[in-house]
Structure 1
């Protein structure tokens, strides 16, 4: 009888392990809200145009800028892609949105298993940003909320050695993935908040679909390979060239 129960226990544990090893395939719809610092933006508007755009720009920024993204993940690899929409909005917010979407057309690829990401950019020249995923030192709290129908736990950490980040994750979906470059918690990240380049970023899951069929994750390969630091240095140089081309600065009084 003892041999029977031992054999049953071994068989049962094997079934459980196989179930845990079976990959999950998820599609998650996120919405990103960007909150801009009005003073930072208006000082970059040429002086002769400020009186025309100041009030409508302030109103639009107060409303917030919203962009939709979709995460496709199998727990080991993922693709995070902006959902493009036709935008004929000529308001200040519409123009800001057009600039953001022009830079963010290509999907972000994350390899959770190997700890790196890839992000293509085309700025007249094709680049392929490749860098390590940040090792965010998370601190899990006891605070809980409901997001997209899931119980989520709050965690705090620091990105890039200086950017505070808050995230809410659900242990019910056992994968260390999340929106954008945020990852590393013991469950899918459903919401995150941080500040970057003077903008407040809030990314929230709106819908989560568990897929039975395997999700194919495309790994980008086109473009000159470059680190994140090297890419932003290239963009800084390009911005300086543009300023020189259009009068050496933004204040042209």
Structure 2
């Protein structure tokens, strides 16, 4: 009888271990941004507005779209912009070019520690931002939506008491990860929506590949290490110097 119990215990342990086996997932997302063209134009120094106003209006009318790839094993992940543009795609607009130039480099998450790393190369100077991931307060709703072949549940979230988010996660993919800084739901986030500073942002999965073979996660390194707040302060100082060189900065008239 004792041997039978030992055998049952061993079988149970193997089953539990199999259920906890690591999933490796690769997701392609499309980021879309909507913003008011006239507000964007007014933020440009007056001497340049006439040259770029029509281009900006057309680009925003067409819609800003950038693809990203998330690679995750449930413990750590990378999220990186897809830079390659095929000949079949339309030329990249001015705003999209600016966004892509500023968002080069992988965004790395350590889900166990709740931290992230993000490298930047600004005017020849390298930075490595290291900080805590946002602590979302999520409320799961009863709403469902099919995304990239998976049934997802909608959740409402908030962090810093100021920024609200909507997310759709796939319970069948038991990884508490998602695009960019989103995470913390009981399933992989396949869609997220935000509104910040008058800009509507949505990130939606186009394809999901669950793999058996290991996905190698490379942790970024090198550069001047700063917190997010310290990095933003340094960037403001650089922006101020550039505006002074351009002759007084932004003209709001």
Q: Do residues 21 (structure 1) and 20 (structure 2) align? A: yes
Q: Give the Cα separation in 1 of the matches to 2:160 and 2:35.
A: 20
Does the CA contact (< 8 Å) of 1:26 and 1:73 recur in 2? yes
For the residue of structure 2 that corresponds to 1:138, the secondary structure is strand
Determine the C-alpha separation between the residues in 1 that align with 2:41 and 2:47: 12
Tell me by how many angstroms 1:248 deviates. 0.5
Deviations 1:12-69 (A, max 9, x none): 3212211122111111111111112223211122324434543442232122100010
Q: In structure 2, the residue corresponding to 1:213 is in which secondary structure? A: coil
For the aligned residue pairs, the C-alpha RMSD in angstroms reads 2.3
Asked whether 1:248 is paired with 2:248, we answer yes
Give 1:151 shift. Answer: 0.4
Give the alignment of 1:87-98 within 5 angstroms: 94-98=93-97
TM-score, normalised by the number of residues in structure 1? 0.91
Is 1:123 aligned with 2:122?
yes
Equivalence for 1:225: 225
Q: 1:12 to 1:20 in 2, by over 3 A?
A: same
Matched residue count: 251
Hey, what does 2:58 align to over in structure 1?
Answer: 59
Query: Which runs of 5 or more structure 2 residues have no equivalent in the other structure?
Result: none
1:153 and 2:153 equivalent?
yes
TM-score by length of 2: 0.91
Q: Secondary structure of the equivalent of 1:233?
A: helix
Q: Where does residue 69 of structure 2 map in the other structure?
A: 70
Alignment correspondent of 2:34: 35
The equivalent residue for 2:109 is: 110
Q: Give unpaired runs (5+ residues) of structure 1.
A: none
Q: Is the 8 A contact 2:55 2:94 kept in 1?
A: no
Could you tell me how far apart the structure 2 residues matched to 1:252 and 1:190 are?
39
C-alpha distance in structure 2 between counterparts of 1:90 and 1:100, whole Å? 16
CA–CA distance in 2 between the matches of 1:119 and 1:195? 22
